[in-house]
A and B are shown apart, each in its own frame.
Chain A
Amino acid sequence: MNQKEHFRKFVYQTAFDSRTSRLNQLKAVHRWKDYLVADAYEDVALEYFAMRNSTGVFDLCPMTKHKISGPDALDYLNRLLTRDVSKLKPARVSYCVWCDDDGQVIDDGTVFHMREGEYMLCSQERQLDWLSISALGFDVTIEEVTHDIAALAVQGPTSCAILRDMGLANIEKLKPFGITWFDFEGSELMVSRTGFTGDLGYEVWIEPAKAEALWDALFAAGRIRGIRAIGTHALEMTRIEAGFIQAGVDFLPADSAVRHGRTRSPFELGLSWLVDFKKPNFTGRQALLAEKERGSRFNLVKLDIEGNKPAKDAYIYNGKNKVVGTVTSAMWSPTAKANIALASLHAPWGKPGDDLYAEIYYQRELKWNRVKARATVVEGVFFDPERRKVTPARDY
């Protein structure tokens, strides 16, 4: 990051701004770290359905990106992340979390093993401070490249066909969580089969100077396949359907928490599969081992709630009318045709079959109503289409 004067500017426009601002009819934006991003361009429903039925394109530039390289890159990542990174082959991506010494999640993200020994870590929150602290004692180079890489999420059933039509030969052969590279007008275009929507989809990465050209090529190729720019509101819907958690929403990043007890461990976020105790040392290991013995305080669960009133911010009660937790994310899912939610419940609540209720407040023409709707713990994912995993990816 060589932008030393960044503080003089309140917000930045992303590398795709000339394209996104033209499409943004609502002029609805918000700030994601240093950048402005669109809430919605035209209509949230249209954007949502584009992602589920054709293709939605989301401007991913503000996502925090760090390149990690050097002789100790792997050892470094293995100490930073709770999962075993040595299993991550070149040209592969994996989902990951990292914790503080108390075993509380700082952020989740994706780690890209690009070429042998060269990694990229992507996250919602800024991480340079923690990554630098974690680098003490390692021969590793950490570059903050958020501003140096322009990225788009291209998500939806027709995404593969669009990329192929744009000229990315054999893109259909890329497996989920795989990475591949193409030449794009003399620049390197990296494509990974990853995303935040739980559907067939890709993320494309290029130098900012080529961002506009990439956008134009993509939208030209996608016109007949229903391509549409989408904002964070629609993306939010798809990620809840996919059951993905979000920092600041479903958990509080440990490094920003002030109050004791407000943070969550990976176990408390349903991410025990990301914690590998076979590794001799990683940050949070001792605390997590102790937690495993002692038991966790919370369970993050997926709920299917009776009725169709989104259980936003609802308290969850048990059968004895005692509050046992709160909803962190909720929506009516048009695709799953269900009233779904993610909720953080006090242990031991959250087992399948538990007798639970959501207290939902909603308004009808300025009149407030309250319902207590039965909530059923769901195992598995609300929405998990086969096309997400099939390789070669098909045309739709």
Chain B
Amino acid sequence: MTSNNVIIVGGGHNGLVCAAYLAGAGHKVTVLEAASQVGGAAVTREFAPGFRVSACAHLLFMLNPEIYRDLGLEQQGFELAANDLETVSLSSTGGHLFLSGSEARGGDLGPEDVARLKKFNARMLKFAGVLRKVYTGRPPRLTSQWSELKTLGKLGLAIRGMGRDDMREFLRIAGINIYDILQEQFDSEMLKGAMAWDAVLGGHLGPRSNNSMLNYLHRLTGEVNGKRGALASVKGGMGGVTQALAKAAAAAGAQIRTSAVVSRILVENGVVTGVELENGEKLSASRVVSSADPRTTFIDLVGLRHLEAGVALQVRNIRSRGSVAKLHLALDALPKFTGLDPQALGGRILISPSMVELEQAFDFSKYGEMSESPMMEITLPTVHDPELAPGGKHVLSALVQYAPYELKQGWENGRAELLQRTMAVLERYAPGVGASVLHSEILSPADIEREFRIAGGHWHHGEFALDQFMMTRPFYGSAQYATPLPGLYLCGAGSHPGGGVMGCAGRNAAAEIIARGGAA
């Protein structure tokens, strides 16, 4: 066992980023991925003969540009299929709304809202910029140590540096709900419905829930090709990101093993000593870095008994109940949305007509039921990337909300019903779409949990909320990537700064391990 021997559990994008940086710094790194290919929730796979799809995440908007550059992803084959996607928010009456950053047109928009949106968007990008400043470093601990205070100070300064008015506004809104804010700002129900979608996507929350504003800002921290808030589609699906990352990690010297299911993280005398695989094979390492979510890591792989009781309680209390389902359709032809120019099919298509309807869809999930009329984010990746399907055929990939992880009737009983409700909504907006479906697949949060090994099937590996944010993400005492268990580190979306295909958690974790030097 050498002292710079590191095992990374999980080859999702964060695990791969972490591996690439660590290997680049001279560590001997082995990545163990349970699935037959790397990528985790950023992966492309076949779901029907000849039809491939981004099996979980489907749009790229948060990938950190420094990581992109540092790891030379372009040289490793990474390519966008399309950038700057326009968002179309569908109206059942055909008067659709088009949205792209601070530009909006159509729908029920009045001229005042168009002007207000420009101001609002600029301000939100500025606020998200405050978060960005702290996303690329480890969160502070709440102590009086100078080095820790410096990080907190950085956040404080960033807030202060926006000037008095913006500072006040930031502090007013960052913790509250987007419903109240958008009601203050805009008249157009369609605009508000579309914007609120971005504030609730991936979480167990509705527009009227607090933390929805925080989720909204989190999304806006991203950029693509230097453009803040842009949406992109990756060539070959989201697996294109992780395939390039895997090549970068391998080029830096990391060893990557797939179909390697870690069954246990080994603890001896209170210290992590390696891992055991499902096939019984044991690998020793002085440091194990887990990109699996914190609940999976501590409960299933470590075992709570190896933690002190207070830590175990914090792990148990991590809120990680996913609400998003994933719909995949193999289509004979492109769907025809009523009143929508086929040109717009390459964009992001939303079914979230108003905040009220979005909130009503959420109401069900509070009580363990699926929405009667689910809301959706639809992409047709084959519009830009025809190779994902056999000639002339198409793929539809959609995020469907709300599908609560803890469904009363259980997902084995509920899956078919969710598919049927989702298809009914689609049919309402795109009559005849059902008839062109060659094959369909819907992944409930329970399916996502099983396939991607994410507890609760949660987008962020744990709810993104102020109580699970920065120094309390995933919980206080494990927020700096090192955990209370000596030798064990976290590097996935469950850690600061959270979920989305971004890479910051993996990179920050690597920096922490490198900064700590040779010893665990």
Contacts and interface: CB of A to CB of B under 8 A. Distances in A.
A137 B314 CA distance: 13
A80 interface: yes
Give chain B's interface residue range (CB within 8 Å of chain A): 20 to 34
B310 A100 contact: yes
B309 A79 contact: yes
B268 interface: yes
B312 interface: yes
B304 interface: yes
B305 A79 contact: yes
Interface string A41-78: 00000000000000000000000000000001001100
Contacts of A283: 308-310
Contacts of B315: 136
A130 interface: yes
B175 interface: no
B312 A136 contact: yes
B310 A285 contact: no
Interface in A249-284: 280-284
B371 to A, nearest CB: 33
Given A136-B316, A137-B304, A286-B484, A101 B309 contact: yes
Contacts of A282: 308
Contact of B269 (A136, A137, A280, A286): A280
B268 A281 contact: no
Contacts of A286: 308, 484
Contacts, number: 53
B303 interface: yes
Contact of A281 (B299, B308, B316): B308
B270 interface: yes
Nearest to B306: A281
B311 interface: yes
B195 to A, nearest CB: 40
Nearest to B485: A281
Interface in B230-286: 267-271
Contacts of B307: 137, 281
Interface string A89-126: 00000000000110000000000000000000000000
B309 A133 contact: yes
Interface in B304-337: 304-313, 315-316
B309 A281 contact: no
Given A136-B304, A137-B304, A286-B484, A80 B270 contact: no
A134 interface: yes
Nearest to A98: B309
A384 B312 CA distance: 42
Interface in B470-515: 484
Interface residues of A, number: 20
Contacts of B269: 280
A32 B315 CA distance: 34
Contact of A285 (B270, B299, B303, B304): B270
Contacts of B310: 100-101, 133, 283
A323 B304 CA distance: 44
Given A136-B316, A137-B299, A286-B484, A130 B268 contact: no
Contacts of B299: 137
Contacts of B305: 72, 75-76, 79, 137-138, 281
Contacts of B267: 280
A67 to B, nearest CB: 19
A181 B491 CA distance: 55
Contact of B309 (A72, A75, A136): A136
Nearest to A133: B313
Interface in A124-158: 130, 133-134, 136-138
Contacts of B270: 280-281, 285
Given A136-B316, A137-B299, A280 B268 contact: yes
B364 to A, nearest CB: 31
Contact of B313 (A79, A80, A136, A280): A136
22 contacts: A75-B305, A76-B305, A80-B309, A100-B310, A101-B308, A130-B309, A133-B309, A133-B310, A133-B313, A136-B304, A136-B315, A137-B312, A138-B305, A280-B267, A280-B269, A280-B270, A281-B270, A281-B305, A281-B308, A282-B308, A284-B308, A286-B484
Given A79-B305, A136-B312, A137-B312, 15 more contacts: A80-B309, A100-B309, A101-B309, A133-B310, A133-B312, A133-B313, A137-B304, A280-B268, A280-B269, A281-B305, A281-B306, A281-B308, A282-B308, A283-B309, A284-B308
Interface of A: 72, 75-76, 79-80, 100-101, 130, 133-134, 136-138, 280-286
Pairs A-B, 10 closest by C-beta atoms = A137-B304, A101-B310, A280-B270, A134-B309, A283-B309, A283-B308, A280-B269, A137-B305, A136-B312, A101-B308
